[in-house]
Amino acid sequence: MRAKWLRGGISLLALALVFASGWLTRNLLANRSVQSGAVVVQRDFAPALADARTPASNLDVSEPSMVTLYDRVFRLVRDEYVEPVPTDKMTHGSLEAMLAALDDPRSQFLRPEQREQFARALNGEIQGIGAVLTVVKRKTTLRVGDETAPLEQNLLQVVAVAPNSPAEKAGLKSGDFIDAIAGQWVISEDPFAEIAQLQRMHSPREQIRQASERARKRLESSISLSEAIRRLSQTPTDAKDAKPLKLTVKRAGQTLEVEVACATTRVRPLEYRLLEGRWGYLRPNLLNAAASREFANALRTLKQGGAKGLVIDLRGVAVGQQEPALQMLSLIATKRQVAQVEYRAGNRYKVRPLNLPKPPQPANLPVAVLTDRGTYNVAELTALAIRQTANARIFGMPTFGDASQTNLYQLKDGSGFTLTVGRYMGLDGAKFHQKGIQPDVRVAAEPRMRGQLGGDPALERAISWLQSQEKRS
């Protein structure tokens, strides 16, 4: 009798175990599908981004009631609107507005096609005119009659032109401001600012009417900043759209008309050679994973070839990400900490060290870094970090001056956004935002043949310094 109960118990236990294993098997499968699912999403929509992250779902919002409000408005509109609603466009529109409200040119929403462009650019495939563009804020004054009012401008500026790009062929230069595209004014300021000022001055009605007429005319043939950037950074697929764009460019107080084509430019990650059998010349055209891999290989080859010093040419390097830059730095820097980052913690600002991902394996050669106004952001950080952690000097012109540390986020529908999360600064606390990094040796003359002795004054100054270092040791 007792044995019967025992047997019954054992079989019940066995059955329970089987049930549990069914349960667990499903869970295991489900979790694995999630992991592979994430990969699928990335492959479908854009080339993999080295440094893209997913916005945290575990972070709290300080005012949950605001999320509730947003959710309620969305649901009401979805259910009540006269037509079916475009959910994706609504999400994009709201994130675009939110990020625009931060009033920071480096924090912006990327629609799926923009995120793809962004990813392609990071992989060395630059679309459109082949220039890196940014929006710079400038505070100026508006003169109305004999009074002035503050006026804020958002100017579209060329940071750098990619080698062999249509922009380079058209003669666009780092620092150029793009004022109009095909005769359409790129809206850089509030055209009604004058009218507001006239109203504050209680000016005659007729004068206000004329001013608003002018503003209206100006707006009639205009193009928004984001639309301008979009036009300049896409390669039309349709051949008949491929006629060149007429740009009105402001350069050092002069206005120029430039015709530039739109075609995809492929940028080689790295070029290098041994100069005079002794000087390793390395020119990363961007700071991405491929460039950092090739940098390591090139460095090995150059050292084996007998390099006694290095020239790292960062002129016009405007595309890059922090992680690959740190990888490269780990082959030059002699310290693990290479820079600092200032960040916001609540209402206060704090500074944290920026460290290499692994202990450095420095080449232990003197390094000359070449910079110019097109040396931008991560490239600026790299130049500064080399100067402060190795036997190094900077030659050329001051850098652009954008010290924003930005995160790149991807959302699962293929869109994404960038967000400025910090400001880079030197080990000694030196800030270069909006100031740029001053070279140790200023060389204003532009190269006739970049990277060629006899045609590149900054390079020649760099080499003579390297020679002096060789003699000293």
Partner 1 sequence: MRERGRAWVYTLLLMPLLFVGGFVVSEAYAVLTYSSPSLLRDSLRNLTRRETLEPTDAFRSALAEVEAHFYGKPPAIDKLTYTSIDGMLGALEDPYTRFMDPDAFRRMQEDTTGSFTGIGALLEDAPGGARIVRPLPNSPAQKAGLQPGDIIIAVDGKSLERVALDEAVRMIRGPRFTEVKLTIRRGDQEPFTVTIKRDLVESPTVDVYLEDDANKIYRIWLQNFSEKAPALLDRALRQIKQEGGRAIILDLRANPGGLLDSAIEVTSRFIPGDKVVVSVVGRQGLLDRKSTLRGRYANLDVPMVVLINGGSASASEIVAGALRDHKIAPLIGEDSFGKGLVQTVIPTSQNTAVAITTAKYLTPNGTDLNAKIVDGKRVGGLKPDIEVKNPEDWRMTEEDKARDKQLQKALEVLREKLNASQEGNGILRAQGEAEVNR
Of residues 80 through 109, those in contact with partner 1 by CB under 8 A are 80-104, 107
The reply on whether position 434 binds partner 1 by CB under 8 A is no
Token readout for 97 is: 């507005």
d(CA 55, CA 61): 13
Asked if 170 and 258 touch (Cβ cutoff 8 Å), the reply is yes
The reply on whether position 421 binds partner 1 by CB under 8 A is yes
Q: How far is the CB of 115 from partner 1 (least distance, A)?
A: 13
Asked if 81 and 74 touch (Cβ cutoff 8 Å), the reply is no
Q: Please pick, from the candidates 1, 5, 65, 146, the single residue that binds partner 1 as defined by CB under 8 A.
A: 65
* Helix (H), strand (E) at residue 184: strand 184-186
Q: 332 φ, ψ to 5°?
A: -120, -45
Q: Which bin fits 70, alpha (ψ -120 to 50), beta or left (φ > 0)?
A: alpha
Give the range of 131-139, 163-171, 200-208, 447-455 binding partner 1 by CB under 8 A: 200-208
Burial class (CB in 10 A: 0-12, 13-18, 19+), 347: exposed
Q: Please pick, from the candidates 29, 239, 252, 444, the single residue that binds partner 1 as defined by CB under 8 A.
A: 29
CA distances from 281 to 269, 303, 304, 309, 361 (A): 14, 11, 14, 9, 19
Q: Please pick, from the candidates 6, 39, 67, 449, the single residue that binds partner 1 as defined by CB under 8 A.
A: 67
The reply on whether position 445 binds partner 1 by CB under 8 A is no
The reply on whether position 57 binds partner 1 by CB under 8 A is yes
Give the range of 6-14, 164-172, 177-185, 435-443 binding partner 1 by CB under 8 A: 6-14
Residue 25's contacts (CB-CB under 8 Å, 6 or more residues apart) are none
Give 7 or 217: the residue with its C-beta nearer to partner 1: 7
On the CB side of 436, how many CA atoms lie within 13 Å of its CA? 17
Q: How far is the CB of 241 from partner 1 (least distance, A)?
A: 19
Q: How far is the CB of 38 from partner 1 (least distance, A)?
A: 11
Q: How far is the CB of 390 from partner 1 (least distance, A)?
A: 28
Give the range of 69-77, 273-281, 299-307, 319-327 binding partner 1 by CB under 8 A: 69-77
Q: Please pick, from the candidates 111, 283, 393, 423, the single residue that binds partner 1 as defined by CB under 8 A.
A: 423
Helix boundaries (H) for 311-436: 322-329, 378-389
Q: How far is the CB of 322 from partner 1 (least distance, A)?
A: 14
- Which sign does the torsion angle of CA 112, 116, 118, 122 carry? positive
Site string for partner 1, 390-419 (x = CB under 8 A): --------------xx-x-x-xxxxx-x-x
The reply on whether position 165 binds partner 1 by CB under 8 A is no
Q: How far is the CB of 228 from partner 1 (least distance, A)?
A: 18
Task: Tally Cβ neighbours within 10 Å of residue 85.
Answer: 14
**Among 306, 284, 320, 315, CA closest to 405:** 320
Q: Please pick, from the candidates 136, 193, 196, 215, the single residue that binds partner 1 as defined by CB under 8 A.
A: 196
Q: Please pick, from the candidates 9, 37, 47, 353, the single residue that binds partner 1 as defined by CB under 8 A.
A: 37
d(CA 36, CA 33): 5
Question: Which residue in the block uniquely carries the two structure tokens 């118990």?
Answer: 9
Query: How many chain residues are in contact with partner 1, going by CB under 8 A?
Result: 96
The reply on whether position 352 binds partner 1 by CB under 8 A is no
Q: How far is the CB of 210 from partner 1 (least distance, A)?
A: 12
The reply on whether position 202 binds partner 1 by CB under 8 A is yes
